Amino acid sequence: MIPVQGVTGQTIAVLGLGRSGKATAAALKAGGAHVVVWDDGQEARAQAEAEGLELRDLNRADAWEGIAALITSPGIPHLYPDPNPVIARALDLGVPVDNDIGLFFRSFATPDWDNFGTTPKVITVTGSNGKSTTTALIHHILTSVGRPAQMGGNIGTGVLSLEPAHDGEVVVIELSSYQTDLARALTPDVAVFTNLSPDHLDRHGGPGGYFAAKRRLFAEGGPDRCVIGVDEVEGRYLANQMGQGPGDDRVIRISSGQKLERFAWGVFARKGFLSEYRKGRQVASVDLREITGLPGAHNHQNACAAYAACRAIGIAPREIEAAFRSFGGLPHRSQTVRELDGVRYVNDSKATNVDAAEQALQAFKNIRWIAGGLGKDGGIAALQPHLGHVVKAYLIGHSGPDFALQLAGTPYEVFDGMDAALARAHAEALPGDTVLLAPAAASFDQYPNFEKRGEHFTALVNALGS
């Protein structure tokens, strides 16, 4: 746990009692604060009270006497579409509102660091897509080369539940727009922006607000190095703002598809090869084509981001390349489960919408595609231009029959569930084929979440031939 600094003797209110809220309450207590908590859900309140937390109904006007700050969980709206009533009350009273990310950044450094040989560092990763894979890949590289490292934030451990830093340690944190939007302190050593596509627009009041939330990590944080994906105009704008010209190597531009030779520092992937350029000269290259944990152009962009972040803290190219080769990928995200008789089985259950499924379909050839579930508006019509690698579709779930009507000339069969679809795909697959679960649909018609769907697929694949 990281005790929160600067709160001794203060009364601090915590709103939201999920994982991050409870961890925040504990870290505030450890820092000497008097903590009161509230959650709109009765069950969460009862559980918190049973765990010894002091409840205070923050909807009451008299509840705010003596409260020095309100710490809110990231899922609770503070601005758009409307502020939660408790947060609105804090704004009216002028009570500072923060989140666990802000508390982390103001509390991470301690006097113990004066005795360290190497100052700890924080690498943060934000963006629309690829955040989790990039964060996990950076952490994997660090541990592979023997650097002490922790990983947390929007992936894995909550930031205040991390351990206080060790000598030379690197902490890698995934940050969502919900987390960067509100944090009052943001001071990473290296900040990564992967890409931007429309998401959470109601929460941020439109695309401009969504981008502004991401941009705060850079503009407010002042990182020593910025790793910025420039395949969208927002990334190019951000890179332009953070640098003093193309010769400023504090900005490392990354891309999947375009050359970046004219800048002081660029990392890009084209035709399966990652290249690092410094001041117009290529200094390193990595062949990504046979790295099974990073298939497809979207993962090549993730590789560029992770590579650049690790180069920014002095890790050598060949060490990074070796770590790439041992990276297994994250569960349910283009995860190679198994290769059997020349056939690859890939779990991309996280592909719950058309955009994600498109990335998966572009990553492989000779695809036997398992798709379906609870489809989104428009079905899979937008995927028609990307079905050239699909040998056959095996459609499941509520939207399977509807998806069949949108496949044009692609062969297909419709099945009741995953068991039958995988059995048929396995029976028909030939060496060189990829059996790909990329549903392009939510899981809730047959599974509680995409993780359970991916776990079922994985279990079935691992049972093949046994």
pLDDT tens string 369-390: 999 999 988 899 999 999 999 9
Q: Are both 426 and 289 inside the same structural domain?
A: no
Claim to verify: residue 423 and residue 304 sit in the same structural domain: no
One DSSP character per residue, 332-367 reads TSSEEEEEETTEEEEE-TT--SHHHHHHHHHH-SSE
User: Which CATH number goes with the domain that contains 240?
Assistant: 3.40.1190.10
| pLDDT in the model for residue 325 | 96
Check: CB of residue 235 under 8 Å from CB of residue 196. yes
41 plus 78 within the same structural domain: yes
Q: What is the pLDDT of residue 199?
A: 75
Global pTM? 0.89
**Residue 202 included in any domain:** yes
Residue 103 lies in a domain: no
Q: Is 127 annotated as a binding residue?
A: yes
Answer with the one of 98, 129, 157 that is the final residue of a domain: 98
Is 458 annotated to bind a ligand? Reply is: no
Q: Is residue 120 part of a domain?
A: yes
Task: Give the per-residue pLDDT at 427.
Answer: 97
The total number of structural domains in the chain stands at 3
Going by pLDDT thresholds of 50, 70 and 90, the confidence category of residue 463 is very high
Q: Give 390-394's long-range contacts (Cβ < 8 A, gap of 24+).
A: 390/361, 391/366, 391/367, 391/433, 392/368, 392/425, 392/428, 393/369, 394/368, 394/369, 394/370, 394/421, 394/422, 394/424, 394/425
Residue 165 backbone dihedrals phi, psi, to 5 degrees: -65, 145
Is residue 152 in some structural domain? yes
Are 147 and 284 members of one domain? yes
Q: Which of 299, 325, 351 is the last residue of a domain?
A: 325
| Residues 380, 109: Cα–Cα separation, whole Å | 49
Q: Is 222 annotated as a binding residue?
A: no
pLDDT category at 466 given cuts 50, 70, 90 is low
Residues 341 and 253 in one domain: no
Is residue 36 domain-resident? yes
Domain with residue 352: its CATH number is 3.90.190.20
**Domain CATH for 77:** 3.40.50.720
Q: What is the pLDDT of residues 312-349, one digit of tens each?
A: 999 999 999 999 999 988 889 889 999 999 999 999 99
Q: What is the predicted pLDDT for the residue at 426?
A: 97
Average pLDDT over residues 229-242: 97
Residue 131 annotated as part of some ligand binding site: yes
- Domain boundary, last residue among 273, 301, 325: 325
The reply to whether 190 and 281 lie within a common domain is: yes
**Contacts of the segment 303-306: beta carbons below 8 A, 24+ positions apart:** 303/137, 303/269, 303/274, 304/229, 304/254, 304/255, 304/256, 304/267, 304/268, 304/269, 304/274, 305/125, 305/130, 305/134, 305/192, 305/194, 305/227, 305/229, 305/254, 306/134, 306/137, 306/138, 306/141
The mean pLDDT of 185-212, rounded to a whole number, is 92
Do 38 and 133 share a domain, yes or no? no
Same domain, 94 and 112: no
According to the annotation, is 130 in a ligand binding site?
A: yes
**Quick one: pLDDT at residue 356?**
87
Residues recorded for the chain: 466
Tell whether residue 133 is among the known ligand binding residues.
yes
Q: Clarify whether residues 292 and 168 are in a common domain.
A: yes
Q: 159 in a domain, yes or no?
A: yes
Give residue 85's domain range.
11-98
* Same-domain status, 34 and 116: no
294 vs 408: CA distance, rounded Å: 30
Residue 97: pLDDT over 90: yes
The pLDDT value recorded for residue 376 is 85
> Do residue 246 and residue 342 come from a single domain?
no
Q: What percent of the chain has pLDDT over 90?
A: 90
Asked whether residue 3 is assigned to any structural domain, the reply reads: no
32 is in an annotated binding site: no
Residues 139 and 257 in one domain: yes
